[in-house]
Structure 1
Amino acid sequence: MSSLVEDNPAKRRFEILVDDALAGFAAYEQPQGEVLVFTHTEVDPRFQNMGVGAELIRRTLDQVRERGGRVVPQCRFMAGFIDRHPEYSALVTDQP
């Protein structure tokens, strides 16, 4: 199973493609400078319980970090992931 995570600014979301199929996304509000406010994560039922959501969040946060950005994790799934992976906590801000 090969996956790719890409930002889709037109839809304001990071998308994960698994074997070229859209498997899920992490949606964000209109960017405020370098800060992205993530509001919702969704994984297609066909790809649930396969680690796709965690892979989506991990690779999304890696890309935000590479850009020098910050996140406001309003989405419970992303917030929970960051709680379990404190190496990403420096990316969190409460300033949109």
Structure 2
Amino acid sequence: MEVIHESDNSRFVINLDGQLAELDYLLQGDEVNFSHTFVPPEMRGKGVAEKLVRAGLTWAKAQQLNISASCWYVQKFLK
């Protein structure tokens, strides 16, 4: 299960058997807001969303960005 960072589309994605899960973000200056997480029903319960969020947060920290989240799922990781 590979996480791909599509920086041109401001998202992280996992493609499993043609199904696409994604973590969207908005980047403004030195701040990133993780805005939306989506996992197709067929992929749920397999840790896909967690893998996306962890990859996104790792990237943001490596870039020394200020992190916020309007997505409720990502907010759980920031507490």
TM-score range, shorter chain: 0.7 to 0.9
Amino acid of the structure 1 residue aligned with 2:47:
G
Query: What corresponds to 1:17 in structure 2?
Result: 15
Across the aligned residues of Structure 1 and Structure 2, the Cα RMSD in angstroms comes to 1.8
Structure 1 residue ranges (4+ consecutive) displaced by more than 2 angstroms after TM superposition: 16-19
Per-residue CA deviations over 1:41-95 (Å, capped at 9, x if unaligned) read 1011111011111111011111111122222111001001222xxxxxxxxxxxx
Aligned length: 79
Q: What TM-score does the superposition give when structure 1 sets the normalisation length? A: 0.70
| Greater fraction of residues in strand | 2
Identity within the alignment, %: 25
Q: Which runs of 5+ in 2 are unaligned?
A: none
- Computing the radius of gyration from Cα coordinates, the structure with the larger value is 1
- Runs (5+) with no aligned partner, structure 1: 84-96
